[in-house]
Structure 1
């Protein structure tokens, strides 16, 4: 009986091949680590072939462990990191390394938006935001810095679309994967109309982009060449899923408009689904959800739980050495050190804008820590990092609610940081609401599998698949006394920090751009 689903999850740190049954049980997985090349500070690139070979290695290793399951696979789905772009020539060969989503290079030598769009942006005060978008568009940078490559670019696709191409031989991608500096209409979930300003900004042409497929539809079938490389059966149907964050929402058991999904990953996010188009931040669109026709309002903390890695690298060498001796992770050692530090880090408050972006609070923002005294140590800083991230996510949740969304009555948290009971309890205390942790850690891969299960007839619809496959979450209840402490700091200090520091941020920003 064909009742299993192969899910490919291509993340930032690894690519994973996951095997799920129709009840959401993870039967087995194989994982291949990924790295990146940084020729200059702030850059992030990798050869496209590395991702394809990682996919082949992961599936081959999975099938070598479980040869009995191959014949039972009904179909597969793929989810991937967002915003990583690939330039292909007319023969489908990569022209340069993939520019990864976290790459921060910027291009200032571009032609500004012309005509009526320029006038409209001036009237509504969006000129600076559009210039920022234009400076961050990888296509703009390539056109001005690598003109020969740009002239030879026949296809310009996201990493998800590239892997679909390698699996099927067709230039297609899911609607729910289109999160990047590309001419995508986030309201209509289609490529932008010919007159849209995004074509001017990105310098792209319609024929360079892939065909878009709605989540839950068959996007293609595994080719003979892909079957040879990966071991996946030739002709296996591939179901269009979505980007990693979009699939993580579903895989965490979230499918309604009254639940906020927190992602404690490299980029920390708060997501709320909606059947209506709403802008939590004016002129910044909601992303396409993995549920067809739905939107996902998302507030990002760009460097998010990457800040834990930053802290370990800058201050945690002693903790990492001790962790190695004790056979623990550095995070476990750090959590032991902060358990006895009172909520609020004894007056230390951190604003986690180490790497600001277009959305919130703005491109000029910087990180800040206030309240230092002579008794504070590095563990106070670590706890303040966690608290600052959670304050910011709470502010994002409230911003989404104020945009006209329904009141949030449930919170689910997933991603690497959610595996910590300390962080989960801190989340419940700061939000003042119960917080749930999904039963399965591989939430992005599971979300893709849920979409595939419905498409392949293993579940009557996606909503049923979500309920059946998500499992029983663990619930963390807020401590009322601790919440009162956090509420006072959040209202009286954290929410006021940005406005008080904004002018200083702008001054510092002008010195580095």
Structure 2
């Protein structure tokens, strides 16, 4: 038996996985985000601990025998969050989360202080990353910064509670801007640019390696026969990739969640900072990955749903099973700014080409296509980095719309694999990593894709039409950039 725990932004979720990788039980507990100022996003680290206690108490009550047999536990979590700890590992302030935008000015300072930042970290300094948040704290909260003893990521603060160890894994650490991603080690040069040293950092392990054991008193609380090992785990996307089986070089998935991710595994470190590609370590040894990230994927459809006061499935159902070709209306899905390929926090959404006679169906189709074109941007800059994606798995809430997947497959001109019903998210991937830590099996043999229920092929007649529409759509951002 293996446990996976995912520290998300809106909830902590745990899954209990048994023989044949069957999910025997799951539980979740909600979290709240506080926004004390516009653009800020914070969470109390203690809330992750309380939520973890709640979900594991629930599983211990409902699955007593299975919990007793747990041998390995893995962790997944929201990336980039800054947990500042002082003496006695006490949080000095609320954690600053991945979607916090306060440190935009510090990003420029960081790149000036460390001209080799992009070369070492493989990424552009963005407000979402961890290092700029520490520069912000040093400038705006010097009393807090002076008391700093350790910086942890969200899932690693939970690990500290579970094991008493300060440890992170390579995939999550790669999102801090302190890791030499090619060497899979902390960079003294990057740390110095934020006034920190290795003493402030947790020990590093691979995601499938043992990071410690569950504290004996917690093992007794949850009825475990012996304290299970706790794996290094992974950042949420890398852990999800382990869950969906995207670990071999070239394997990929596209996530139509609130935000959107085009994720591909690599045999080597392959940055493309000019295209705002994220280049990180994977959660398994010797593998890296790249991501194109768009900030409003399914969130764009939910925004339209709220605006029109109709459920999103109703809006997509009105389009039927097919469209007659690209919509004459174009949509930019930059409702919260954009990462790949623009790295522009000020970018905003737009409808272009509205005319009399166009109703909500035209708006809905434009939203589906605008998000698909944003994924095409991600595919383009990944290709610029030398990465070829032949096909991808489709995950996330938006993947339940067959029409949206058909449009996306045609825009990307790639087949999309839809897997049989199941939970293959971060918590499941974390459970797989927990298994690997306990058994020392080959990660490539364990992290295999689930069965494919359906392959969504590109519509041959749509591919050239969408290629032309995408070329026109690409002209909109540079034309509007000065107006945002």
TM-score (norm 1): 0.85
Deviation at 1:225, TM superposition (A): 4.5
Residues 1:450 and 1:456: Cα distance change in structure 2 (over 3 Å): same
Q: Tell me the equivalent position of 1:475.
A: 455
- Using the alignment, how far apart are the partners of 1:179 and 1:114 within structure 2? 17
SS at match of 2:463: helix
CA contact (8 A) 1:264 1:416 kept: yes
- Using the alignment, how far apart are the partners of 1:50 and 1:451 within structure 2? 24
Whether 1:409 and 2:390 are equivalent positions in the alignment is yes
Whether 1:356 and 2:342 are equivalent positions in the alignment is no
SS at match of 2:20: coil
- What does 1:72-471 align with in structure 2 at a 5 Å threshold? 72-106=69-103, 108=105, 112=109, 117=114, 137-192=132-187, 194=188, 196-197=189-190, 199-200=192-193, 202-227=194-219, 235-282=227-274, 286-313=279-306, 315-317=307-309, 319=310, 330-339=311-320, 342=323, 346-357=327-338, 359-363=340-344, 365-405=347-387, 407-439=388-420, 440-457=422-439, 460-467=441-448, 470-471=450-451
CA contact (8 A) 2:169 2:234 kept: yes
Deviation at 1:415, TM superposition (A): 1.9
Q: Tell me the equivalent position of 2:465.
A: 485
Residues 1:272 and 1:72: Cα distance change in structure 2 (over 3 Å): same
- Using the alignment, how far apart are the partners of 2:283 and 2:111 within structure 1? 34
Whether 1:63 and 2:60 are equivalent positions in the alignment is yes
Q: Tell me the equivalent position of 1:326.
A: none
Deviation at 1:166, TM superposition (A): 0.7
Q: Tell me the equivalent position of 1:36.
A: 33
- Using the alignment, how far apart are the partners of 1:32 and 1:134 within structure 2? 26
- Using the alignment, how far apart are the partners of 2:235 and 2:89 within structure 1? 22
Moved more, 152-161 or 225-234: 225-234
CA contact (8 A) 1:242 1:448 kept: yes
Deviation at 1:473, TM superposition (A): 3.9
Deviation at 1:221, TM superposition (A): 0.6
- Using the alignment, how far apart are the partners of 2:312 and 2:383 within structure 1? 33
Query: Structure 1: which 5+ runs fail to align?
Result: 320-329
Residues 1:135 and 1:259: Cα distance change in structure 2 (over 3 Å): closer
CA contact (8 A) 1:109 1:144 kept: no
Residues 1:257 and 1:232: Cα distance change in structure 2 (over 3 Å): same
CA contact (8 A) 1:5 1:449 kept: yes
Residues 1:153 and 1:234: Cα distance change in structure 2 (over 3 Å): farther
Deviation at 1:420, TM superposition (A): 2.9
- Using the alignment, how far apart are the partners of 2:364 and 2:108 within structure 1? 43
Deviation at 1:470, TM superposition (A): 2.4
Query: Structure 2: which 5+ runs fail to align?
Result: none
Q: Tell me the equivalent position of 1:322.
A: none
Deviations 1:312-338 (A, max 9, x none): 33x142x2xxxxxxxxxx232222223
SS at match of 1:29: strand
- Using the alignment, how far apart are the partners of 2:107 and 2:412 within structure 1? 43
SS at match of 1:23: helix
Deviation at 1:53, TM superposition (A): 0.7
Deviation at 1:116, TM superposition (A): 8.5
Q: Tell me the equivalent position of 1:497.
A: 476
SS at match of 2:230: strand
Deviation at 1:165, TM superposition (A): 0.5
Whether 1:14 and 2:11 are equivalent positions in the alignment is yes
Residues 1:337 and 1:345: Cα distance change in structure 2 (over 3 Å): farther
- Using the alignment, how far apart are the partners of 1:384 and 1:36 within structure 2? 31
SS at match of 1:286: strand
Deviation at 1:267, TM superposition (A): 2.4
Residues 1:116 and 1:352: Cα distance change in structure 2 (over 3 Å): closer
Deviation at 1:172, TM superposition (A): 0.7
- Paired residues, number: 477
Deviation at 1:293, TM superposition (A): 2.0
- Using the alignment, how far apart are the partners of 1:462 and 1:142 within structure 2? 39
Moved more, 232-241 or 147-156: 232-241
TM-score (norm 2): 0.89
CA contact (8 A) 2:410 2:463 kept: yes
Residues 1:108 and 1:278: Cα distance change in structure 2 (over 3 Å): closer
